[in-house]
Structure 1
Amino acid sequence: MPRWSFARFGTDWSDDPTAMPTARKFLIFGLMAFGQFLALFDIQIVSASQREVAAGLAAGADEISWVQTAYLMAELVMIPLSGFLARALSTRWLFVASCTMFTISSLLCGLSWSIGSIIAFRALQGFTGGAMVPLVFAVGFTLFSGKQRALIPAILGTVSVLAPALGPSAGGLITDALDWRWLFFVNVLPGLAIATACAMLLRIDKADTSLLRRIDWAHFVAMAVFLAGLEYVLEEGPRHDWLGDETIAIAAWLSLVGLVLFVERALFSPMPVVSLRPFRRPIFAFACLFNLVIGFGMYASISLVPVYLAQVRGYDALQIGKTIFVVGVAQLGSTVVAASLSQRIDMRWMISVGLSLFALSLWLTSGMTSQWGFSELLVPQMLRGFALMLCIVPSVNMALSGVPPQDLGAASGLFNLMRNLGGAIGIAVVNSWLQDDTRIAAARLSEALGRHARPASDVMASLGQRIATMTPDGARAQDMAQAVMARVIGREALALGFDDVFRVMAWMFIAALVLVPFCRQEPGATPPPADAAH
C-alpha cells in the first residue's frame, strides 16, 4: 500500500492542477461542494420556521422577513465578486476564509439576542457564504475533463437545487426537535471541518495580491449599490406599493444609477471587479437567460408551496417539511439520468424536455384547492424536482464548457448570479401576483354570494344556529358566524390566487422554449472525449 506523507499531502498543484491524482480531485471537489451546499441550504432554512424565530426574538412579520432578505442581498453582492477575489487571494484562501467566516457568522446567528442582531449576522453569513457557490463550479471545470467533467453539472446542479429545496424541510425538523437557534448551530462543526481540510488540500492556483492594490473601488461600490438596492426593492415592493413608497423609489433610483455605473466600469475600467467578457459568447448569454428563468421558477415554487401549506392548510414547520421533502428525492433520482443524457444528446433537446416538464408540473399545481395536502402535491412536486435537473445540467454545460481558464471565475460568478437574481425577482413578483390575484378572487367570491343571496343567507343562518348552541348571546353568535364565513372566503380566495400564480409561471416556462433553437454549441466548446482525461 502507498505510504502517505505530510509532504505529499501538502503538494502544490498550482502549476498544473489537472495532473493532480483523481482521488484527490474528487476529495477537493466533494469538500467544496459540501461547502456550497451549506451556503445554499441556509437561504431557505428559516422559511418554514419564521414564526418560531419571530416569537423567540419578539419580532413582527415585516421584521422577520429581513432574516432572509439580508442573506440574499449580501450573497448577491459576493457571488460576482468571487472571481476577482479568487485571482487576488487564490482559490484556496478565499474559500477557506469564506467557509471560516460563514461558520463564525452561523454561530453568531444562533446566539442572536434581538432582531437587529440576527439581521446583521445573516448579512455577514450571506456575504461570506456567497463566495463558496461559484468557486466550486470554476474548480470543477478546471480539474476535470471527459466523462468526469460531465458529472460536474449534474452534481452541482443537484446541490444547487437540493440545498434550497431541503432547507424548509430540514429547518422544520430541527425547529420541532430542538430549537430555532439550532438552524444555525448545525453549520458550525461541518464548516470548521471543511475549512480545515481545504486549507490543507486546496492548492490549485497562486495568489496575485497586487490586484488588491489596483482594485476599481467605484466598480465595486456600483455593483453593491445596484444588487443590494435591487434586492431591497424586490423584497419590500410587494408589501409597500412598489414605487408608490418613497423609500422604495429612492432605492430603485440608486439601483439604476449603480447599474449604469457598473456596466460603464465593467467595459472601460483597466481593472474591473467583474469582467463581462464571458457575455461575448452568445451561448453563454443564452445559458444565463435560462438560468434566470430557472432561478425564477425554482425559488418561487420553493417559496410558494410552504406559504400555501402554512396559510391555507394551517400546517406547522414539521408538516411543511414532510410535505415538500419529495422534491429533493426526485432531484436525486434525476441526477444520474441528467448526467448520462448530457453525454449522448444535444443540450437543446435536453433543456426543451426539462422546461416542458417543469411547465407541466406548474400547470398541475395550478389546479389545487384549499384541501390539497401531501398526496395531491406528490406528483406535481416530484415532476418538478425531476425536471429541474434536466434544465440545470445543460445550462451549466452551455455556460462553462469551452470557457478559457482565465475567464472561468468570472463566468461562474455571473452564471450563478443570474440564478440567484432570478430567484430574488421570482419571489418578489409571485408575492405581488399572489396579493393581487387573491384580492380579485375575494371580490369575485363576494359578487357570487351577492348573486346567490338566498343560499348564502341559509348557510349563515345554519352556522349561526350551531354557534348559538355554544354561546347564550344570539347577537354574538351571528357576529361569529360572519367571522367564520369571512375566513372561509379568505381561505378560498387565497387558494385561487395560488392557482393563478402557478398558471402564469407555467406559461412563462413554455415561452422560454422559444430561446432553445438559438443555443447552438460553439465548435470546440463541447467537453473533450473520455480518453482525453488520460
Structure 2
Amino acid sequence: MSVELEAARPDRTPAIVWLGFLAMCVGMFMAILDVQVVATSLPTIQSALGIDPDQMSWIQTAYLIAEVVAIPLTGLLTRLLTMRWLFVVAISLFVMASAGCAASGSFGTLVAWRVLQGFSGGTLIPSVFSAVFILFPNERQALATTIAGVLAVLAPTVGPIVGGWLTETYSWHWLFLINILPGLASAILAARFLPKQAADPSELRHLDGLSLLLMAAALTALELSLKEAPTSGWTSAYVLSLLAVCLLSGGAFMTRTLRRGRPIVDLGNFGDRNFLVGSVLSFILGIGLFGSVYLMPVFLAFIRGHDALEIGVTMLVTGIAQLVTAPVAVALEKRMDARLLSAVGFALFAIGVGMSAFQDPRSDYDAMFWPQVVRGVAIMFCLLPPTRLALGTLSADRVPDASGLFNLMRNLGGAIGIALIDTIIYTRSEPLGQDLWARVQAGDIEAAMFVGAPAEIMSRHSGSFDADTMATLDPLVQTAASVQAINEAWMVVAVLTGCALLSVPFARRPARHEAGQ
C-alpha cells in the first residue's frame, strides 16, 4: 500500500490536512452518538412502529453486530479504496442509511437500514485513529489523538441528553435525521481535503471469501451469545450453541488467516509486543468505559426514575471533566513515558469506578459528581497513551489493520463488560433481597436505613411484620437489593479495570522517532 501522501508535499499546508481530519472526526462522532441516542429512545420507537417488546432490542443488536464485523475489515477496505475514499463512501452510506431509518414504517425495514448503518459506521472509528499516525508528524499526533479521543468518549456521554431532548421536543425520526447534514458536510470536506493515495485493486482479487464468512460468523455468534446469556443463562443450550459456533468459526478463521500471505485481517500485528499490550489496555478500557456509561443510566432510570434528559444532564459531568483534562493530557503525553501515563490513567479510572460501588437507593447527582469527575479526568490517560503504545511505532502500511483490531478489542471489551454487568444484576438481586429481608425482620437498623424503611415501622417492630407492613416494605427492599447488585457490578468493573496495571510493565518504551514511520 502506498503511503506517499500529499500531506508530505510542500503545496499541501497543515491547515488543509487538519480540515480533512476534523471532517473525519465529525463523521466518527455522529456514528458513535447514533448508538446512544437510539438506545435512550427505544420505547418511543417501539410504540410508534408497534414493535413487540421482545423484538425491540434488535434495533440496537442489528447495528452492533454489523459494526463489530466491519471494524476489523478497515485495513482491507483502506487498501482497496484508500483512506480518503473509504471514509467518503462509509459516511455517505451512513447518511443514506440514517435517512432510511427515519423513513422506516415497519420493524423489518428499520432493522435492515440499521444493519447498513452499523456496517458503514463501523469503519469510521478505526479510520480516524489510523489517520492520526498516517497524516501527521510525530509532534502533532498527540493533539490529533486527543481530538479523536475526546469526541469518541464524549459521544456516549452526551447521547442520553441529545436523544431525550430530540424525542421530547420533536419525534423519534430526528434521532436519525440529525446525522444527515453533518454527515454530508464531512463527506464533502474529506473528499476535498484528505490527501490522495494509490488504491490497490488487487486486494479484491485476493479477497478470501471463506475467511470473511468465518470471521463474520464468529463475531456475530459472540455478540448474540453476550446479548442472550444474562437472561437465558450462560449454560443454556442456545447460548452454549452460539459460543460453540464462535469458537469453531474463530479458530478456523485464525488458522486460515495466519497461513495466508494476504489475509483479510493481519493478525500478525499481535506479534508486536507494544501493540499486544495496547490492545489489552483497549479491551479493559472497553469494559470500564462501556460499563460505566451503561450502569449510570440503569441506576438513574430504574432506581431514581429519571427520564433520558435528566440522565443526560447528570452524565454531562464526565464529559466536562474530559474536556478540561484534554489539554493537560496532550502536554503530559508529549513529555512522559506512555507506560507511566497509562498506569496512572487506569489506576485513577479504577478508583473512579470503585467510588460508585457505595451507592444507596437515595443516591443522585451529588453522590455521582466526584466519581464522574475522577473517571472523566482518567479517561484521556486511558486512551491517549495506549493508542500511542499500540499504533505509534508501527509502519504506516500496518496502521489501518492494526487500528481496526485495536478498536475491535475495545468494542469486544464493552460487549463482554455489559454482559457481565447484566449477569450480576439479574442473578444477584434476588439473593441480596432475601438477605435484606432477613436483616430487616431481625431488626437490623443499618439494613433498615439502607432500605429506607419508615422509622415508625421499625420503632414498633416486634420480630415480625403484618401483611400491610410487608406490602409497604417489599418495593423498598427490592429496590435496595437492585442497588446492591448494581454496586457489586461497579466493584467488579473496578477490579477488572485495575487489572490493566498488570500488563503495562510488558510494554517497551516507544521511541519517539519510530512513530508514524
Same fold, judged at TM 0.5 (above): yes
Give, in whole Å, the separation in 1 of the partners of 2:433 and 2:52. 26
Distance 1:13 1:219, change over 3 A: closer
Give, in whole Å, the separation in 2 of the partners of 1:167 and 1:354. 24
1:402 Cα deviation after fit? 1.5
Count of residues in correspondence between the two structures: 501
Q: CA RMSD in A?
A: 2.4
Equivalent residue, structure 2, for 1:491:
479
Q: Which stretch has the larger CA shift, 147-156 or 229-238?
A: 147-156
Give, in whole Å, the separation in 2 of the partners of 1:259 and 1:87. 24
1:16 Cα deviation after fit? 4.4
Give, in whole Å, the separation in 2 of the partners of 1:453 and 1:499. 20
Give, in whole Å, the separation in 2 of the partners of 1:414 and 1:385. 25
1:60 Cα deviation after fit? 4.1
Give, in whole Å, the separation in 1 of the partners of 2:294 and 2:218. 24
Equivalent residue, structure 2, for 1:194:
186
Matches within 5 A, 1:82-481: 82-244=74-236, 246-452=237-443
Distance 1:527 1:502, change over 3 A: same
Give, in whole Å, the separation in 1 of the partners of 2:82 and 2:216. 22
AA of the residue aligned to 1:18: A
Match of 1:76 among 68, 74, 89: 68
Contact in 2 for aligned 1:13/1:203 (Cα 8 Å): no
1:449 Cα deviation after fit? 3.6
Give, in whole Å, the separation in 1 of the partners of 2:140 and 2:310. 39
1:57 Cα deviation after fit? 2.5
Give, in whole Å, the separation in 2 of the partners of 1:135 and 1:491. 43
Residues 78-132 of structure 1 deviation map (CA, whole Å, 9 limit, x = unaligned): 0110110111122222111110110111111122223333222222111011111
Which 5+ residue runs of structure 2 have no aligned equivalent?
458-465
1:152 Cα deviation after fit? 2.1
Give, in whole Å, the separation in 1 of the partners of 2:281 and 2:444. 49
Give, in whole Å, the separation in 2 of the partners of 1:284 and 1:525. 17
Give, in whole Å, the separation in 2 of the partners of 1:274 and 1:377. 41
Match of 2:498 among 507, 510, 519: 510
Distance 1:15 1:196, change over 3 A: closer
Which 5+ residue runs of structure 1 have no aligned equivalent?
1-11, 464-477
**3-state DSSP class of the match of 1:113?**
coil
1:398 Cα deviation after fit? 0.3
Distance 1:393 1:15, change over 3 A: closer
1:337 Cα deviation after fit? 0.9
Give, in whole Å, the separation in 1 of the partners of 2:230 and 2:108. 22
Distance 1:110 1:261, change over 3 A: same
Give, in whole Å, the separation in 2 of the partners of 1:479 and 1:451. 17
1:243 Cα deviation after fit? 3.2
Q: Which stretch has the larger CA shift, 346-355 or 516-525?
A: 516-525
Contact in 1 for aligned 2:17/2:194 (Cα 8 Å): no
**3-state DSSP class of the match of 1:393?**
helix
**3-state DSSP class of the match of 2:38?**
coil
Equivalent residue, structure 1, for 2:28:
36
Give, in whole Å, the separation in 1 of the partners of 2:147 and 2:296. 25
Does 1:18 find its partner at 2:28? no
Q: Which stretch has the larger CA shift, 48-57 or 252-261?
A: 48-57
Equivalent residue, structure 2, for 1:468:
none
1:482 Cα deviation after fit? 4.6
Contact in 1 for aligned 2:72/2:404 (Cα 8 Å): yes
Distance 1:159 1:174, change over 3 A: same
AA of the residue aligned to 2:255: E
Give, in whole Å, the separation in 2 of the partners of 1:337 and 1:37. 22
Contact in 1 for aligned 2:436/2:481 (Cα 8 Å): yes
Distance 1:496 1:519, change over 3 A: same
Equivalent residue, structure 1, for 2:460:
none
**3-state DSSP class of the match of 2:398?**
helix
Distance 1:442 1:271, change over 3 A: same
Distance 1:479 1:193, change over 3 A: farther
1:280 Cα deviation after fit? 1.7
1:366 Cα deviation after fit? 0.7
Give, in whole Å, the separation in 2 of the partners of 1:264 and 1:453. 59
1:504 Cα deviation after fit? 1.6
Distance 1:60 1:445, change over 3 A: farther
Q: Which stretch has the larger CA shift, 365-374 or 114-123?
A: 114-123
Give me the identity figure in percent: 36
Distance 1:309 1:125, change over 3 A: same
Distance 1:146 1:275, change over 3 A: closer
Residues 23-82 of structure 1 deviation map (CA, whole Å, 9 limit, x = unaligned): 111001100011111111122222322222222223344322222222111111001101
Does 1:49 find its partner at 2:41? yes
Give, in whole Å, the separation in 2 of the partners of 1:376 and 1:49. 26
Distance 1:88 1:372, change over 3 A: same
Distance 1:453 1:132, change over 3 A: closer
Q: Which stretch has the larger CA shift, 101-110 or 111-120?
A: 111-120
TM-score by length of 2: 0.92
Give, in whole Å, the separation in 1 of the partners of 2:149 and 2:454. 53
AA of the residue aligned to 1:317: A
**3-state DSSP class of the match of 1:406?**
coil
Distance 1:373 1:339, change over 3 A: same
**3-state DSSP class of the match of 1:194?**
helix
Give, in whole Å, the separation in 1 of the partners of 2:394 and 2:16. 24
Distance 1:527 1:353, change over 3 A: same
**3-state DSSP class of the match of 1:262?**
helix
TM-score by length of 1: 0.89
AA of the residue aligned to 2:486: F
